[in-house]
Amino acid sequence: MSDKLTEIMAWKRQEIAPLIRAVSLPELAAFNAMAPKPPSFAAALRRDDGKLAVIAEIKRRSPSAGAIAATTLSATDQAINYRTAGASALSILTDEKFFGGTLDDLTGVTNFFRQDRPAIPCIRKDFMVHPIQVLQAREAGAGAILIIVRALNDDEIAALFAAAKFAGLDALFEIHNESELERAVKHGAKIIGVNNRDLAIFKCDLGLSERLIPLFPKHVIAVSESGIFTGADAARVHAAGAHAILCGEALMKAPDTAALITEFQTA
């Protein structure tokens, strides 16, 4: 791992160091029992009609694209736009340094939608390394966390996944090659996403989803992430077996969000 992800992970470990304390599984379970239950992320990704579910990402900037939206963009306004346009779930980047997001973005969005039915689930999109971030995600109303297989050792993955389960959260395992897929499956992942973006050179290749998704165990929910801009792109990964796509830049910049989501869903 010698690329942007290495730099981000090094920063993340430094950023959360002052917050770290032991977080036990009973503590997470107790919090889960008393907090309002978040809508199921996993359930939202399997559509009854067989169409692609769209996880719409709120992303103000990124290392690969630079500025995507104004720093002043309201995450809640963007979430309302996505929901109205037909998104099945939301991905909310909470990393500030590289993506311009905050945990408050996530809290604001989940609070806004708390009474809405059907509820829309949110994933906390951040670089998770310690169960304290899982507790933060649950407190902020997320329904899922991200586990980037390549960035973590097996003990860290096991600790994060156990924390997520006890906190009542789903986990999206992100992979980029066959050996990472094998590791995700070994950990019992139920939702696996192929990141089409090579984080060393920032190039997206949908061929990666086409290569890896057909290898997923049948019970796993398959997500294709990054570099999806058109209905034709969505059709490629749908044909490969994706249940859902995770899309940021294209949706953030779309002049007509509903039209693009419909294009993705009907691909």
Q: Which of 4, 46, 190, 211 binds ligand LARABZUK (CB under 6 A)?
A: 4
101 binds ligand LARABZUK (CB under 6 A): no
User: What letter represents residue 197's amino acid?
Assistant: R
247 binds ligand LARABZUK (CB under 6 A): yes
The 3-class secondary structure across 38-87, one letter per residue, is CCCHHHHHCCCCCCCEEEEEECCEECCCEECCCCCCCHHHHHHHHHHCCC
Q: Which of 59, 60, 124, 183 binds ligand LARABZUK (CB under 6 A)?
A: 59
DSSP-assigned beta bridge partners for residue 144: 123, 170
248 binds ligand LARABZUK (CB under 6 A): yes
Instruction: Pick out residues in 185-214 that bind ligand LARABZUK (CB under 6 A).
Output: 195, 199
Residue 151 Cβ, how far from ligand LARABZUK at the closest point, in Å?
9
Residue 118 Cβ, how far from ligand LARABZUK at the closest point, in Å?
24
Nearer to ligand LARABZUK, 170 or 249 (CB): 249
Q: Which of 249, 254, 260, 261 binds ligand LARABZUK (CB under 6 A)?
A: 249
57 binds ligand LARABZUK (CB under 6 A): yes
Nearer to ligand LARABZUK, 59 or 243 (CB): 59
| Main-chain phi, psi angles of 183, to 5 degrees | -65, -45
- State the CB neighbour count (10 A cutoff) for residue 96: 15
User: What letter represents residue 199's amino acid?
Assistant: L
Residue 80 Cβ, how far from ligand LARABZUK at the closest point, in Å?
20
The torsion of the CA quartet 157, 161, 163, 165, rounded to 10 degrees, works out to -170
Listed residue (71, 131, 98, 105) closest to 199, CA to CA: 98
CB-based contact 122:141 (threshold 8 Å): yes
Query: How many residues bind ligand LARABZUK, per CB under 6 A?
Result: 19
Listed residue (176, 160, 16) closest to 97, CA to CA: 16
List of residues contacting ligand LARABZUK (CB under 6 A):
4-5, 8, 57, 59, 62-64, 195, 199, 225-228, 246-250
